[in-house]
Amino acid sequence: MKQTGAIALNTFKETIRDRVLAIIVLFALLMIVGSLWLGSISLGEEGRVMKDFGLVAVTFFGLVVAAFIAAGLIHKEIEKRTVFVLFSKPVSRAAFIAGKFLGLALTMAVVVAGMGLFLFLVAWVIDGSPTWMVLAAIGLIYLQLLVIVAVTIFFSTFGSAILASVLGICVFVAGQLSTNVLSLTRLGENAVTEALSWVVFVLIPNFTAVDVKPAVVGEQAADWGSIGSWCVYLVAYVVAVLLLATWVFRRREF
Amino acid sequence: MGRGLTRRVALIVVFLVCAVVVVRYQTTQSTAESRIGQPFVPSPKFFLDFSPSYRATIADAYWLQTIQYYGEHVQTDQKYDRLKPMLDLVSTLSPHFERAYLFGAYALLDAGLGNDAYRLLERGFARNPKAWTLATNAGILIYSYGPEDVKRDVATGWFEKAAAVPNAPLYVSRIAARLLGEGGEVQKATALWAELYATGDKYSRERALAGLDDVLPTNAAARREALEKVRDLMAPTTFQELVKALVAG
Amino acid sequence: MRTALNVTGLHKTVIVGFRRRRVEILRGVDLAVESNEVFGLLGPNGAGKTTTIKVVLGLMKPTSGQVELGVSSLERVGYLPENPYFYSYLSGREFLGFCGSLFSFAPSMRRERVNALLGDVGLGDAADTQLRKYSKGMLQRIGIAQALVNDPGLVLLDEPMTGLDPIGRLKVKRLIQRLHDEDKTVLFNSHIMSDVEELCTHIGIMSNGVVVWTGTVAEALDQAPTLEAFFMKTVESAS
């Protein structure tokens, strides 16, 4: 646990100091501000448009950070041979993977919280009152991004950094189409197709189970029960993927 | 070693628990309400203005959605509110996508939107004048479901158009010829049957002979006179054979 | 005399290239290093010295053979890799602190140890400078410091003198001598025969994935005028 914490803190220091991160966050903030302009041509629906596009900005830029930085975490250590320093000490592969994940999760928390808070405050100014659901939506976006971090780390344990980041983004897109895959499982035409669809449906993360946007823009009340079980699912998914990554990484030699 | 083994077992247990949670969550996803039920279908104009490079891709994405949507509702409530806009979008963004017109027409027919089905095929053939299948199916549709007073004539027109397409199969010409004959357009029917006789396979020649026998006057001289009008449509020997087969004596 | 490190029949085969060619790097390495020895592991490039160390540390798994560490675990082992590279965004102090935190000793002890080591390797003044600003020699010295942060019983140093100026080399030699005086076991690879002759109590010569000779430095010098001559003779006769 101690090693995990040390590696996590080290990873946090490494990633938060990355200048590219600052540029990405800057662009995200610009996009949020830009969505205000879109709101101005929305016939009185500035708040709604601004929140919607703002959440898209947070998701998009958060995804860029998640996929590209996560992909480099392990590769950098191997390329720069700092793995020799690490694994010559009593550090397990599990602690390493967990530490890398937690470190980047902490960085992502700072980044997403920063963007989210900015969005929340701007929305407050526009609407004249706070929309607390924006914070809940940001929290759910954060969880989804953690899934992508975990998945990208998994791919980076055996693939190149570029491959891992591309696959991470593909998994994100696939996760957005989860419902479509579910409908394939109900075609009832061919047992093989159905079985395969089920396998794919279970393997890809389900990012469509809950939609909080209607609650964010005030169209309907949030279903906290569904949100809660979705969160449990996402956390379980992250843990399972990280354990798989550990299992693969154990077999890696340096 | 003992501690290492314990830790390994613990990690395996944690993995299994998480895997069970994930699988269980996914397998209990609600089947009651399908998101496909109410797909978002913007106007085609939106995409024509917005994304010239990706029209075909968007059309394909909506095509997949259309099939899913239709299949979903065929099995459940038989309500197809979004079918027409989806097909309009696909066919506008991908105007040469023949399959979309064909499938779409029959799906619309199923949905009780016969007029829309017909218009879809009409539009499809206008954009794809070499697609004999679209013309043929328009003819079948109107003949099967159209108003009694016009269906034969309109269908005949479609089959004529289809038959005029260079690589259209022979049966299309046979149908066109048959309809023309039944509709009293003897000259056109005769010409089409004669063409079939001259260029068709054995079966088509037999049908052509039967068809000509039906439309031509029974009187030998009148028959011979009518046949003279189609002499130029075939080789002299073939023409002689045709006359011999149809005119006694 | 306890054995600090015992390697028996170590084989290591790796699969390389697109065609998945099997290459045997270690062909039955037998090596015994007793406690408190300063053991020089010599050999031409590609002999398998670094691979042997990696297998000992668990960075690679042996295809067959056994490794027994006289110390309890990696908690009591220190390692300096060849041409080390560390986390450039950390300062010297932060880096040693991070390495120390990977072991199980108290934070206060860790701080004391880090400060002492920074002084020992002559980096007290540069302790709070980021590693990206360190020279090669400074990086080598911080590398040695991180290998000693846990007060190891067994210290493995891969080319510890690389990139060091004469003063730096002297400091490292004194450090190795001190480790020996503190009853620690040191194993190091080096191509610099004069250093090996000066510092080592025992040497082992590897060639083509096997250890072809082990013994004391005195025994080697009995058989040749210089250690270098002995090394050349042994490697040539082995191949």
The domain spanning residue C48 has which CATH number?
3.40.50.300
Displacement of CA C58 from its chain's centroid (Å): 14
A82, A84, A88 member nearest C87 (Cβ) = A82
Mean pLDDT of B173-197: 89
ipTM of the complex: 0.86
% of residues, chain B, pLDDT over 90 = 36
**DSSP E strands, C82-184:** 154-158
- Give the C-alpha separation, B133 to B98, whole Å: 9
Q: CB C60 to CB A254 under 8 A?
A: yes
Between positions 219 and 238 of B, the ones with CB within 8 A of A are none
Can you give the pLDDT at residue B135? 95
DSSP secondary structure letter of residue C91: B
Q: CB A89 to CB C99 under 8 A?
A: yes
Judged against a pLDDT cut of 60, whether residue B53 lies above it is answered with no
Chain A contacts of C98, Cβ < 8 Å? Answer: 6, 9-10
Give the number of domains in chain C. Answer: 2
Considering the domain architecture, whether residues C98 and C148 belong to the same structural domain is answered as: yes
Judged against a pLDDT cut of 90, whether residue B40 lies above it is answered with no
Name which of A216-225, B233-242, C63-72, C219-228 the model is least confident about.
A216-225
B7, B25, B64 member nearest A233 (Cβ) = B25
Q: Does C213 map to a domain?
A: yes
Displacement of CA C60 from its chain's centroid (Å): 16
Domain limit, last residue, from C119, C152, C185? C152
Nearest residue on chain C to A15, judged by CA atoms? Answer: C89
Q: Does C78 map to a domain?
A: no
- Check if the beta carbon of residue C85 is closer than 8 Å to that of residue A81: yes
Joined tokens for residue A78:
């191997």
Can you give the pLDDT at residue C79? 94
Tell me how crowded residue C130 is: count the other CB atoms within 10 A of its CB: 15
- Residue B36 in contact with partner chain A when CB distance is under 8 A: yes
- What confidence tier does A44 reach under pLDDT thresholds 50, 70, 90? low
Closest residue by Cα to residue A58 from A15, A12, A103, A108:
A108
Name which of A208-222, B183-197, C85-99 the model is least confident about.
A208-222
Chain A contacts of B22, Cβ < 8 Å? Answer: 202, 233, 236-237, 240
Looking at CATH, the fold of the domain delimited by B41-138 is given as 1.25.40
**C224–chain A nearest CA distance, Å:** 36
Domain limit, last residue, from C152, C169, C197? C152
Domain limit, last residue, from C152, C175, C208? C152
Considering the domain architecture, whether residues C48 and C143 belong to the same structural domain is answered as: no
Can you give the pLDDT at residue A54? 84
- Check if the beta carbon of residue C203 is closer than 8 Å to that of residue C42: yes
Q: Does C41 map to a domain?
A: yes
Q: CB A179 to CB B21 under 8 A?
A: no
Q: CB A6 to CB C150 under 8 A?
A: no
- Residue A229 in contact with partner chain B when CB distance is under 8 A: yes
Considering the domain architecture, whether residues C167 and C98 belong to the same structural domain is answered as: no
- Give the C-alpha separation, B173 to B33, whole Å: 48
- What confidence tier does B36 reach under pLDDT thresholds 50, 70, 90? very low
Q: What is the DSSP string of C2-21?
A: -EEEEEEEEEEEEEETTTTE
- What confidence tier does B106 reach under pLDDT thresholds 50, 70, 90? very high
Range of the domain at C210: 3-71+153-238
Chain B contacts of A186, Cβ < 8 Å? Answer: 31
Count CA within 13 A, CB hemisphere, residue B200.
22
Name which of A11-20, A42-51, B130-139, B185-194 the model is least confident about.
A42-51
Interface test with A, best of B5, B17, B18 (most A CBs within 10 A): B18
Closest residue by Cα to residue C175 from C193, C191, C192, C195:
C195
- Check if the beta carbon of residue B68 is closer than 8 Å to that of residue B103: no
Residue C59, classed as helix, strand or coil, is coil
Residues of chain C with pLDDT under 70: 1
Q: Does C165 map to a domain?
A: yes
DSSP secondary structure letter of residue A142: H
- Residue A183 in contact with partner chain B when CB distance is under 8 A: yes
Can you give the pLDDT at residue C1? 55
Considering the domain architecture, whether residues C159 and C212 belong to the same structural domain is answered as: yes
Mean pLDDT of B92-114: 89
A41 vs C31, which has greater pLDDT? C31
Interface test with B, best of A233, A244, A250 (most B CBs within 10 A): A233
Q: Strand C21-34's sheet: what is its strand order?
A: C21-34, C3-16, C64-69
B72 vs A72, which has greater pLDDT? A72
- What confidence tier does A252 reach under pLDDT thresholds 50, 70, 90? confident
Q: Does C45 map to a domain?
A: yes
What CA–CA distances, in Å, run from B203 to A182, B31, B156, C95?
Answer: 49, 52, 22, 90
> What are B138-161's pLDDT values in tens digits?
999 999 988 988 888 899 999 999
Q: Does C13 map to a domain?
A: yes
Considering the domain architecture, whether residues C157 and C234 belong to the same structural domain is answered as: yes
Q: CB A90 to CB C75 under 8 A?
A: yes
Q: Does C80 map to a domain?
A: no
Can you give the pLDDT at residue B38? 61
Nearest residue on chain A to C156, judged by CA atoms? Answer: A88
For chain B, give every domain's residue range.
41-138, 169-249
∠ at Cα A226 (A223, A229), nearest 5°? 145
- What confidence tier does A219 reach under pLDDT thresholds 50, 70, 90? low
Q: CB B22 to CB A208 under 8 A?
A: no
pTM of the model: 0.75
Q: Which range has the top average pLDDT, A31-45, A127-141, A181-195, B52-66?
A: A127-141
Q: Does C77 map to a domain?
A: no
- Give the C-alpha separation, B231 to B236, whole Å: 7
What CA–CA distances, in Å, run from C214 to B22, C40, C118?
Answer: 57, 10, 35
Judged against a pLDDT cut of 70, whether residue A42 lies above it is answered with no
Considering the domain architecture, whether residues C14 and C36 belong to the same structural domain is answered as: yes
**B25–chain A nearest CA distance, Å:** 7
